[in-house]
Amino acid sequence: MAVARYQAENITSADERERVRDDIHGLMTRYGVSAQHISQRAVNIMAPVSPLVSPGSAADFELLFSDPTGDGLDQRMALFDRMAYEVFERGYKEPGLPPPDDIIHVSCAGYLLPSPAQRFVSDRGWLGSTVTHSYHMGCYGAFPAIRIALGLIGSSHACLPHGKERVDIVHTEFLSVHLNLLAREPDKLVTSTLFADGFVKYTAFSQAALAGSGKRGLKFLALKESIIPESLQQMSLKPGPRQFDMFLAKATPQLIGDSISEFVRSLCKEAGVDFHQRRVDMGFAIHPGGPAILDQVRDGLGLDESQIAPSRKVLYEHGNMASASVPHIWKAIVESDTVPVGSLVLSVAFGPGVTVSGALFEKV
The contact set with its own copies (CB under 8 A) reads: 72-74, 77, 108, 111-115, 118-119, 121-122, 125, 127-128, 130-138, 144, 147-148, 150-162, 220-223, 225-232, 235-242, 245, 270-272, 351-353, 355
- Of the pair 58, 354, the CB lying nearest its own copies is at 354
Buried b (16+ CB within 10 A) or exposed e, 138-166: bbbbbbbbbbbbeebbbebeeeeeeebbb
| Cβ-based burial of 277 (10 A; exposed 0-12, middle 13-18, buried ≥19) | exposed
- Of the pair 17, 119, the CB lying nearest its own copies is at 119
- Of the pair 68, 72, the CB lying nearest its own copies is at 72
**Residue 33 has what DSSP assignment?**
P
CA dist 297 and 327 (Å) reads 18
- Of the pair 20, 148, the CB lying nearest its own copies is at 148
Contact 221, 361 (CB under 8 A): yes
- Of the pair 132, 176, the CB lying nearest its own copies is at 132
CA dist 263 and 350 (Å) reads 12
Q: What are phi and psi for residue 116, nearest 5 degrees?
A: -55, -35
Shortest distance in whole angstroms from residue 323 CB to its own copies: 12
| Cβ-based burial of 247 (10 A; exposed 0-12, middle 13-18, buried ≥19) | middle
Shortest distance in whole angstroms from residue 136 CB to its own copies: 4
Contact 112, 174 (CB under 8 A): no
Shortest distance in whole angstroms from residue 230 CB to its own copies: 7
Measuring CA to CA, which residue among 362, 93, 67 is closest to residue 242?
67
Shortest distance in whole angstroms from residue 356 CB to its own copies: 10
Shortest distance in whole angstroms from residue 340 CB to its own copies: 23
Shortest distance in whole angstroms from residue 30 CB to its own copies: 28
- Of the pair 118, 336, the CB lying nearest its own copies is at 118
